[in-house]
Chains A and B, each alone.
Chain A
Amino acid sequence: MSEDLQASEQSGVRFTRRKNVLFGKDRDSIIKGFFGSSATVAIVVLGLITIFLFKEGAGFLGSYHKSLQEYRLSGLEYVDILKEPRDDFSALNRYLTDIRAEWIQSLKAQGLTKKEMSAIVTAPEAKALFLRYLRTGSQLRGFIKKKMDAAIEVRDRFITNENLRETVNNYTAEIEAVSQTDYDPEAEERSRHALRLKQYLRENTLPEAVSQRTTEVIAGLEGEAPFGEAARTLILKLLQEQSEETRRAIQPVDFNKSIAVITGDQASYATILTKMKADIHTLLDQADAIAFNNPALEKRVERFGELNEQFLASFPKHKAKLAVWDQNEAIPPWRALVAFLTGKDWVTASDQQDWYGLLPLLSGSLLISLIALLFAVPFGVGAAIYVNQIAGPLERNLIKPYVEFVSAIPSVVIGFFGVVVFGEAIRLLSQFEFMAWVPFFPLQERLNAFTAGGLLALMAIPTIFTLAEDAINNIPRHFKEASFAVGATRLQTTLRVIVPSALSGIISAIMLGFGRVIGETMVVLLCAGTRIKIPDFTDGLGVFFQPVHTMTGIIAQEMGEVVRGSVHYRALFMVGIVLFFVSLLINFGAQWVVKKYRRVGD
């Protein structure tokens, strides 16, 4: 080799490459490294997304756990157990009101005048049942209200104390900073000090000399004067005074003592329950005297009696639950996570306890996705089959770009369309008499899961269409030819040969469509009705027409208003984490399906 080199040098011809050496690398490998490092941008971004979601959401479990502990210590949990019979009783009351409304309806249908009707409805025995029933619970309600107020007061005082302690800490830190000899405040701090001193001057009557000195110091702070010893002593004194004052405002809460107020009065609670039981029994016995003359109604009244018996029978169990409740029972740390993942309520900014449960949002998201896919799958796949297998070349060349164009419609425009046109159209349609056969029509809400789902279907169709069409297009030609050769018709070929062969691609297209739907924000935010409640699945198909809220919607709606760093803020990031992993899961699923079921013979 070296001989060759020498030979070439001697002959004056240089075939060797000159190397621009930088850190031992030549130019090409530097370029390669440069591109290589930029290629990892996707990996880096994915990593960063994970890191930042967890960074902001991380504190959630801790603060939520703390909030749950306060909930138990302050006795709010006890009050919530107390509230159970009250809520059951309210439900029974609603049931009764419903019966009454139905009764009046049936009387109206019989063609009675208003006078006759009111005579029947307000007959003494009917009045006794319908009006006095509500009254039987008034004592219970009053009792619970009293306890609840007490518990809320304790909890609020506790939180106030925490805030005061934080203020004291801030004061301490500031005092330390000011007492440093080389303390040189920035403009912002100077004006803060000046403001504080001014307020101090205003609120207190001071000896002439002191107030004179203070005024001078204020002037110095507002001007450019250096931060002197006089200012330091004054400010330090003031800070110490205020800090002390705040410290004094802290009235420690002894949860063990405060709980006595809440869990006390057991005897009177028992009397209230017993009295209620007796009252209800008397009322129900009298109810038999009412002549409804309507078998359906009588059946409902009978059912009402049964429900009441169940309600009254639950009292001992309820009392036992109250007896077992222990204020000092520790809450394990993982409970916060469980409460988040399986919580049935998402209640924020309430005066009692804030709950951050995922289920209402998750179920809303899934319900809307289900509705969207119910439309998008047949239409998307059907259109893909039509365009690829049936349509002529001209039709194909027009429809494919058109669908691509549709996929570019911004989601917020579709959401807007839903608010102004689609939601209203559905409600109007549901009010026509010829639609009355549908059990849950007419609709009350124009914005509900169906409105959002129907529009999301339109957004998912392009995704499903494009990918499914690709999958069908990738089926080798000889599959089709072989099918034709054995005498199959075009439809048979399409449905029994082409579609089954492309099934893995179609399923993955559907999954990606699902991913698009569950991650969509603006349409659900504008059109889903934003009611945070688990949809009532006992309603049959009517569940499709209930207003819901979704994971994406809640983030978009509440993120702008929360206090940074609060439990609520972190809870929203937790929802984001769940969404992120759901979308990754869907993506992996789609890839796995394609890989696993890819047909041999491509």
Chain B
Amino acid sequence: MPKPKRHRFSIRPSRKKTTEVLAVNLFRLMTYCVILAAAYIFVDIAVNGSKAVFQSKAPFINTQFLTEKPQTLHVFEPLEPYNDLQRLHGQILRLEAKRKALGKNDAQQDAEYAIEISSLQTEMETLDAQRKAGRLKYSDDEFRALTETPDPSKFKHETYAYSGGGIGPAIIGTCLLVLGSIAIALSLGLLCAIYLSEYSRPGKTLQAIRLSVLNLSGVPSIVFGLFGFGMFVLFFGWGVSMIAGWFTLAIMALPVIIAASEESMRAIPRGFREGSLALGATKWTSIRTNVLPYALPGILTPSIMGIARVAGETAPIMFTAAYALRDQLPWEGLKQPTDFFFQGVMALPYHIYVVSSKIPQNEYTRDMQYGTAFVFLFIVGFFALSSILLRIKVRSKYKW
């Protein structure tokens, strides 16, 4: 292609401009790398997790997975294809070793090996399909209900902890933990913020409070866990319980909520308060009627974000509230109503930790692992997204 003739006034390339363009694109590349990396995580978990959560028949959602308790999974592999598969696998490994030993000396022999291996692999695939069709999967309940177990001479029996059933109690537990900690954190945070924005005068106390809030936000989550364990679980004697988890999580969420509430209240124009005071209202009345209602949307939106983040934390509830496995739902088997608060619960983040570290990764455990991660990501993402969308809406609604 001939080079087009350049117009006299057209911009001429120069080294300076090239570097400029290069640098700009480098920055752009970096930004999009980050975006894509995060997107990859979302997509991977959504694609693999949806296999566990959705199904092809009506009602299209695997209600069993979402509502049942986690159970041990019993798998019966048909022995015949299984043994054949093992044998074929061994053959392939041997051939590959031979091929490797051959090096690059003998191209013809190498090609022969390659053909042999690929034919073995196709054979394996058909056998694998056969195995999948023939295998039996039972959750623990179903297994116990069986009148006769499959013949051990034909089937290989394997069990995988936590991999059967569903994650119902974990979903409920997470929701309860989030609701309780939201209530505690919001009420405490709001009180603190009202003082900071309406009553406080600049001085030593104010500085100390601000410094503490700032430092509290930087404390590692595991330290909050240790603190909650030392204070609520041991010192108050609450044991591993929901209420200990509530307070631990609420304290973690405090800095975000205080900062958000204060900022939101400070954004209310002075005139609102002065107008009310001029009409003879007391300070508290003017705060109650003229500041809080307008600040509330602004307080809520970042608070939801703070809660979304706290809901995602595992370390603080590890020793304060979460059980790896609990057969009863929180409202079952209570002797007295207060027991409700003093029981440990299952929680999604802790469940993810358990299923991704304590059980092996294979085709049977995969659904449980990805499914839990997907549901959890969905819940947290829902909170976060609604917070972001709400904020955009609030910003465009209130302008003064």
Binds A, one of B17-25, B159-167, B175-183: B17-25
A380 CA / B33 CA spacing, docked (Å):
11
A399, B195: Cβ atoms under 8 Å? no
A591 CA / B212 CA spacing, docked (Å):
12
B361, A419: Cβ atoms under 8 Å? yes
B230, A519: Cβ atoms under 8 Å? no
Interface assignment of B381: CB less than 8 Å from any CB of chain A:
yes
User: Chain A, 536-560, contact with B by CB distance < 8 Å: what is the 0/1 string?
Assistant: 0000000000000000100110011
A56 CA / B235 CA spacing, docked (Å):
10
Q: Which of A380-409 contact B (CB under 8 A)?
A: 380, 382-383, 385-387, 390-391, 399, 401-409
A408, B209: Cβ atoms under 8 Å? no
B194, A35: Cβ atoms under 8 Å? yes
A45, B220: Cβ atoms under 8 Å? no
Q: A38 contacts which of B30, B191, B357 (Cβ < 8 Å)? A: B191
Report the nearest B residue to A39, measured CB to CB: B195
Report the nearest B residue to A397, measured CB to CB: B392
The CB with the most chain B CB atoms within 10 A, among A41, A48, A564, is that of: A41
Q: What's the least CB distance linking A581 to chain B, in Å?
A: 10
Binds A, one of B79-87, B127-135, B137-145, B306-314: B306-314
A410, B212: Cβ atoms under 8 Å? no
A559, B219: Cβ atoms under 8 Å? no
User: Chain A, 2-36, contact with B by CB distance < 8 Å: what is the 0/1 string?
Assistant: 00000000000000000000000001100110111
- In the complex, number of A-B residue pairs with CB atoms less than 8 Å apart: 258
A45 cross-chain contacts in B, Cβ below 8 A: 212, 216, 251, 254
Interface assignment of A522: CB less than 8 Å from any CB of chain B:
yes
A27 cross-chain contacts in B, Cβ below 8 A: 282, 284
Q: Which of B187-230 contact A (CB under 8 A)?
A: 188, 191-192, 194-196, 198-200, 205, 208-209, 211-216, 218-227, 229-230
Q: What's the least CB distance linking A387 to chain B, in Å?
A: 7
B209, A458: Cβ atoms under 8 Å? no
Interface assignment of B44: CB less than 8 Å from any CB of chain A:
yes
Report the nearest A residue to B374, measured CB to CB: A413
Q: What's the least CB distance linking A580 to chain B, in Å?
A: 5
Binds B, one of A258-266, A474-482, A582-590: A582-590
Counting chain A residues whose Cβ lies within 8 A of the other chain, the interface size class is: 35 or more
Report the nearest B residue to A550, measured CB to CB: B222
Interface assignment of B16: CB less than 8 Å from any CB of chain A:
yes
A521, B222: Cβ atoms under 8 Å? yes
Q: Which of A39-62 contact B (CB under 8 A)?
A: 39-43, 45-46, 48-49, 52-53, 55-56
A519, B220: Cβ atoms under 8 Å? yes
A458, B313: Cβ atoms under 8 Å? no
Interface assignment of A411: CB less than 8 Å from any CB of chain B:
yes
Report the nearest B residue to A518, measured CB to CB: B220
A413, B45: Cβ atoms under 8 Å? yes
Interface assignment of B56: CB less than 8 Å from any CB of chain A:
no
B356 cross-chain contacts in A, Cβ below 8 A: 412, 415-416, 419-420, 526
Q: Which of B1-38 contact A (CB under 8 A)?
A: 16, 19-20, 23-24, 26-28, 30-31, 33-35, 37-38
The CB with the most chain B CB atoms within 10 A, among A53, A390, A416, A579, is that of: A416
A521 cross-chain contacts in B, Cβ below 8 A: 220-222, 314-315
Interface assignment of B299: CB less than 8 Å from any CB of chain A:
no
A9 CA / B312 CA spacing, docked (Å):
64
B214, A32: Cβ atoms under 8 Å? no
Tell whether A552 pairs with B315 under 8 Å between CB atoms, given A40-B209, A407-B309, A408-B305. yes
A39, B200: Cβ atoms under 8 Å? yes
Q: Which of B35-87 contact A (CB under 8 A)?
A: 35, 37-38, 41, 44-45
A416 CA / B282 CA spacing, docked (Å):
54
Tell whether A520 pairs with B220 under 8 Å between CB atoms, given A43-B209, A409-B38, A420-B369. yes
Q: A491 contacts which of B19, B34, B221 (Cβ < 8 Å)? A: B19
Main secondary structure on chain A at its contact with chain B?
helix
A555, B45: Cβ atoms under 8 Å? no
A293 cross-chain contacts in B, Cβ below 8 A: none
Q: A382 contacts which of B30, B221, B225 (Cβ < 8 Å)? A: B30
A491, B24: Cβ atoms under 8 Å? yes
A491 CA / B251 CA spacing, docked (Å):
44
B20, A413: Cβ atoms under 8 Å? no
A584 cross-chain contacts in B, Cβ below 8 A: 215, 218-219
Q: Which of B368-390 contact A (CB under 8 A)?
A: 369-370, 373, 376-377, 380-381, 383-385, 388
Interface CB pairs A-B, < 8 A, 10: A38-B192, A39-B196, A386-B27, A416-B369, A417-B45, A458-B34, A519-B223, A521-B221, A522-B314, A588-B215
**Closest 6 pairs between A and B when the two form their complex, measured CB to CB:** A519-B220, A410-B312, A38-B191, A39-B195, A35-B195, A382-B30
Q: Which residues of A contact B (CB under 8 A)?
A: 27-28, 31-32, 34-36, 38-43, 45-46, 48-49, 52-53, 55-56, 378-380, 382-383, 385-387, 390-391, 399, 401-417, 419-421, 458, 461, 465, 489-491, 495, 512, 515, 518-522, 525-526, 552, 555-556, 559-560, 564, 572-573, 576, 579-580, 583-584, 586-588, 591
